[in-house]
Amino acid sequence: MFREKTLLLSALVFVVAGVLVAVVATKCRRQDEYPMPPVPDRQMPDEFPANTHLPNKPEGTISGSIDLNSFSPGRDLMRFDDDRIWWESDNDRNDTEDDHSMHVAIEGALRKLVELVDARGGTLEVHEGYRADGIHNPRSLHKEGRAIDVTCDQMPLGELAKLCWISGFDWVYYEARKGKGAHVHCSVQRPVNNER
């Protein structure tokens, strides 16, 4: 009996160790494949009015239009976590979405944004990350995980949009259309080595 238990325990340790090695290997591969891009040196905009975006060009021109042929969820998505963020999907039990899921290309800018918001005493709220289907239009970059929607109750959205811009997102849109909850939508370019 004791021998059986020992054997079982050994097998368990073996399996767990194997999984850990696989997880670490996946992480390393990802970091090699997608080194976190340096945050661009940006000036704080004087103002960021509602329903405007930076740069003042279409999102597709700046972040690159959606291309699901070059997108591979298993390869391109990561799970982002930070205790300082309020995640909508962790607080909404009626939806199966996971707002922690996003393209690895978002990581650098989002990490910087959390720091900036936290330093101002705010809590960043993430309402949407990767979403394969549902509420977005067919060309939405959320379908590739290259967009996130954020708000912050402790500051005007125009202020949050400015912080999103200096955090390094490629395209930042202060979206405040009627009938939709106002938020800041940020998107990033697909990494160059993503094309294959």
- The residues binding Zn ion (CB under 5 A) are 147, 149, 185
How many whole angstroms separate alpha carbon 147 and alpha carbon 105?
10
Contacts of 106 (CB under 8 A, 6+ apart): 80, 129, 145, 146, 148, 169, 186, 188
Q: Which is nearer to Zn ion, 148 or 166 (CB)?
A: 148
Q: Which is nearer to Zn ion, 117 or 147 (CB)?
A: 147
| Beta carbon of residue 148, minimum distance to Zn ion (angstroms, whole number) | 7
Q: Which is nearer to Zn ion, 121 or 138 (CB)?
A: 138
SS3 call for 172: strand
CB hemisphere CA count around 59 (13 angstroms): 21
| Beta carbon of residue 78, minimum distance to Zn ion (angstroms, whole number) | 18
| Beta carbon of residue 2, minimum distance to Zn ion (angstroms, whole number) | 58
Q: Which is nearer to Zn ion, 109 or 196 (CB)?
A: 109
- Bond prior to 55 in cis (omega within 30° of 0): yes
How many whole angstroms separate alpha carbon 10 and alpha carbon 4?
10
| DSSP code, position 25 | H
Instruction: Give the residue closest to Zn ion by C-beta.
Output: 185
| Beta carbon of residue 28, minimum distance to Zn ion (angstroms, whole number) | 31
Identify which of 153, 184, 152, 154 has the alpha carbon closest to the alpha carbon of residue 169. Answer: 184
| C-beta of residue 107 within 8 angstroms of C-beta of residue 76 | no
| DSSP code, position 150 | E
| Beta carbon of residue 125, minimum distance to Zn ion (angstroms, whole number) | 13
| Beta carbon of residue 109, minimum distance to Zn ion (angstroms, whole number) | 14
How many whole angstroms separate alpha carbon 140 and alpha carbon 98?
17
